[in-house]
Amino acid sequence: MSRELAKTYDPKGIEDRIYDKWLAKKYFHAEVDHSKTPFTIVIPPPNITGQLHMGHALDNTMQDILIRYKRMQGYNALWQPGTDHASIATEVKIIEKLKEEGISKEDLGREGFLKRAWEWKAEYGGRIIEQLKKLGSSCDWDRERFTMDEGCNKAVTEVFCKMHEKGWIYKGSRIINWCPVCNTSISDAEVEYEEQAGHFWHIKYPLIEDDGTVSTTRFLEFATTRPETMLGDTAVAVHPDDDRYKDIVGKKLMLPIINREIPIIADAYVDREFGTGVVKITPAHDPNDFEVGKRHNLPEINILNDDATINENGGKFCGMDRYAAREAIVKELDEMGLLVRIEDYTHNVGTHDRCKTTIEPMIKKQWFVRMDELIKPAVKAVKDGDIQLIPKRMEKTYFNWTDNIRDWCISRQLWWGHRIPAYYCDDCGETVVAKQMPEKCPKCGGTHFTQDPDTLDTWFSSALWPFSTLGWPEQTEDLKYFYPTDVLVTGYDIIFFWVIRMIFSGYEQMGERPFKTVLFHGLVRDSKGRKMSKSLGNGIDPLEIIDQYGADALRLTLITGNAPGNDMRFYYERVEASRNFANKIWNASRFIMMNMPEEGLQVTDPVLQPVDKWILSKLNALIKDATENMDHFELGIAVQKVYDFIWDEFCDWYIEMVKPRLYNTDDQESKNAALWTLKTVLLNALKLLHPYMPFITEEIFCTLQSEEESIMISSWPVYQDDWSFAKEEQDIETIKDAVRGVRNIRTEMNVAPSRKAMIYVVSEKEEVRRAFTEGKLFFTSLAGASEVVIQEDKNGIAEDAVSVVIHGATLYIPFAELVDIAQEIERLKKEEKRLTGELARVNGMLSNEKFMGKAPQAKIDEEKAKLEKYTQMMEQVKERLAQLSK
């Protein structure tokens, strides 16, 4: 029995039902199977604080497209899901909630706070997973992991202890990003740079003369955006090759207000072309100054408390807020005559992405990962092509970071996260790094220890994600089979913070790459090209789009026109276009099913007509092209080709071409061949579309046929030599040109669509006449003809007939009573002018020695074919003009 689709396509009515079916059937689940080749993707774990946003939607749509494609190709495809504990983000959320209750985390104590944090995770942690399911994500949810689950926690402890033992992890004082509100160090990833209006304060420090007096006439002038940090200045630097200052390098300046003598040093870090070529050096509050300070053995003077107030090193400004101190210092410098001028200046200021507070670079004693050796395999892997970055231009960003690598600060002054496995002996202070609290101090024999209160940077655990999720440090079967993974899909904005760290962690812990390919995507911006943000109020909720238009429409919108690494703009008009495409497929599928026999189509060896071979050949070429595009991660190009084929070739042309055969009850053989072709092409086109639009393709596929239970586990179409019909393709394309030409003429002349007219097809070429004879039935219908006469010459055709010139033939329509002859002459003259231009262009290229010498032979042959085509068309146009002018 044939089945039917609902009259209208309603995503709400099918998406949840279909997804539940997939889950129940365990289509997403992967087990070790050595008879199959594995294909693995690990999800960039969303934060448990997260709400699905457009970046997530794009990222996960791309992963789902790849995993569905590979699953259909027969790979044992695993998409490993999970979530990230997101130390700071989660702690901020919980603290906000506690504030509403009138309590602080200190009131609860560490254990009480962690209990609340786990309760919060249980309540909100799975929200984004449910939202990813609404998108259609085919992750193996049976394998869902969490960065703080028992297995991942074990992996983190193992890595920390192992790397500490090797000397890769150490505790020391270095410059870090400090958030004065959250009172923790934060990673570079959590620093958000925003353009702010500020100032350049031009200040001068007096030189100390050889006799030890402070000069009243000689000064060094520089500019700074943070005058308050002068309290911690320990030098002023100039470039070694700057002739202006060569004679004073090694001398000293007097630091105003603080009255501390500081040296003038020479360092290549200084840009002598910028400003006065003089830079104040504050090693404790600037990462570049810190490095300069190390090179010149400068003191490091921290002038800030953790809350960004001035500490005792700031003298009389002690206790003041950093900005209040800035104001007071500038005022005093002005009174002293040392403030030269104030210049307005717009610059990028680092803020904490969570609380929006301006961060302070500060020297702090923290735990660090030594990067100089660890980074080397990660550099080599990309240079040698062991790991491929797509697009390739991302390599420049990658190497820019690896070439300027700094040791990684991994400790955070937080309670939520992986606690650092370092224990301090209460008796002698000895530090012991171990997987669990030691029983006895190796130095003094003491038995009382206190664990380090800090937790690890979230990125430390997510750097292990490709292998910790598969069971490492245990040598599980999953790990042996599914690792290394194949593709990582992520935004270009976390190339340093996550991608590179996974790469060096993979080589360090596993001895091999964590993935073969990194596919970068850009940001989803609003229709004006702005980044979506809460402050701008321009964010778009993907769940609202899904509710209104369906997940398939959103997915198609996000991927159409998308190129690796490029940002894209989000337009509601594009979502509507995607929904319209879904409706087009739905209605075409309904039409096909309505014409299927009740008992089902029983055709095993159809007698195909040229038009059937044409659409099969077009489909065959599409299969080859789309597969190649998918293999090269050109997802946007592949889906555009599938879209164009379904909408244009299949729906607008082929279905219309075969309608007369479907309605012809006298030729069952022809009708059956048309139905077989319609079904075959539709099923294959649905398969090509499935990774992009999984829900609608599943519903149509399962309704149209009963042989397979799901499109998800059907086979990806493959190119077939016996579906390649070059001659039929050429013939049908010629007839399509004729139909378009006739339709254009009728439109220009305002001929009513209901009006039928006789069409003469005249061609000297036997193969052209044969093509029109074979396609006469559908050509008659599509061209709005009352009758079609095919002949070798113009005998019997009225002189006033309107003509349509195509390659290889001329069509004549005796519309004398409807046609303005003068208008037809004008139209032909326009065509003559167009062809004159085309011929001039082609002849110009073919007579250009440079072009003929350098162009590929295929391009030269293409231009020669155009010359022949345009020459023939011009002859026909001129001949017709001569007739009408008589």
pLDDT tens per residue across span 284-302: 999 899 999 999 999 999 9
CATH classification at residue 392: 3.40.50.620
Is 528 annotated to bind a ligand? Reply is no
Instruction: Tell me the angle at which helices 127-135 and 551-559 cross, rounded to the nearest 10 degrees.
Output: 80
Q: How far apart are CA 353 and CA 491, in angstroms?
A: 17
Across 484-495, average pLDDT = 90
- CATH number (domain holding residue 235): 3.90.740.10
Across the chain, what does the average pLDDT equal? 93
Mean pLDDT of 233-243: 96
In a domain, 658, yes or no: yes
Residue 532 pLDDT more than 60?
Answer: yes
Distance, CA of 277 to CA of 242 (rounded, Å): 8
Q: How far apart are CA 101 and CA 254, in angstroms?
A: 53
322 and 213 fall within a common domain: yes
Domain of residue 879, CATH code: 1.10.287.380
Could you tell me if 500 and 381 lie in one domain?
Answer: yes
**Structure tokens of 434?**
């171990």
Q: How far is Cα 308 from Cα 321, in angstroms, rounded to an integer?
A: 6
Distance between CA atoms of residues 28 and 81, nearest Å: 11
442 occurs within a structural domain = no
Q: Is the pLDDT of residue 531 over 60?
A: yes
Q: Does the pLDDT value for residue 529 go beyond 90? A: no
The answer to whether residues 122 and 213 belong to one domain is no
Query: Mind listing the pLDDT tens digit for each residue in 16-72?
Result: 999 999 999 999 999 999 999 999 999 999 999 878 889 899 999 999 999 999 999
258 shares a domain with 129: no
DSSP states of 93-160 as a string? HHHHHHHHTT--HHHHHHHHHHHHHHHHHHHHTTHHHHHHHHHT----GGG-EETTSHHHHHHHHHHH
The residue range of the domain holding 882 is 820-886
Q: Considering the domain boundaries, does residue 463 fall inside one?
A: yes
Predicted confidence (pLDDT) at residue 698 exceeds the cutoff of 50: yes
Residue 1, pLDDT score = 43
| Domain total in the chain | 4
Q: Is the pLDDT of residue 815 over 70?
A: no
Give the number of residues written for the chain. Answer: 886
Same domain, 190 and 339: yes
What integer pLDDT is reported at residue 821 of this predicted model? 67
Question: Could you tell me which residue, 183 or 508, shows the higher pLDDT?
Answer: 508
Say whether both 355 and 470 belong to one domain. Answer: no
Which of 712, 728, 751 is the C-terminal boundary of a domain?
A: 712
Please check whether residue 737 lies inside any domain of the structure: no
Q: What CATH number is attached to the domain comprising 657?
A: 1.10.730.10
* 425, β-bridge pairs: 449
Q: Identify whether residues 340 and 254 lie together within a single domain.
A: yes
Tell me: pLDDT of 621 over 50.
yes
Question: Mean per-residue pLDDT for 567-589?
Answer: 94
- Which two structure tokens, joined as six digits, stand for 350? 């680092």
pLDDT at 398: 93
pLDDT at 817 over 60: no
Look at residues 34, 98, 128, 7 and name the one whose alpha carbon lies nearest to residue 591: 7
DSSP string, 725-752: -HHHHHHHHHHHHHHHHHHHHHHHTT--
Domain-located, residue 612:
yes
Last residue in a domain, options 712, 729, 747: 712
- Asked if 338 and 190 sit in the same domain, the reply is yes
- Judgement on whether residues 194 and 297 belong to the same structural domain of the protein: yes
> Both 189 and 325 in a single domain?
yes
d(CA 180, CA 628): 52
Predicted TM-score (pTM) of this structure? 0.85
Bridge partners of 219, per DSSP, are 206
Shared domain check, 509 and 394: yes
Residue 786 pLDDT more than 80? yes
pLDDT of residue 335: 95
Q: Is residue 71 part of a domain?
A: yes
Mark whether 89 and 117 lie in a shared domain: yes
Residue 761 has what pLDDT? Answer: 96
pLDDT for the residue 192? 80
- Is 663 part of a structural domain of the chain? yes
Q: Is the pLDDT score of 2 beyond 60?
A: no
Q: Which of 712, 736, 766 is the last residue of a domain?
A: 712
Cβ contacts of 79 within 8 Å, gap of 6 or more: 28, 40, 41, 43, 63, 64, 67, 137, 138, 139, 140
Higher pLDDT, 614 or 752: 614
CB contact set of 205 (below 8 Å; sequence gap of 6+): 219, 220, 222, 236, 253, 254, 255, 256, 262, 280, 338
Residue 368 is assigned to a structural domain of this protein: no
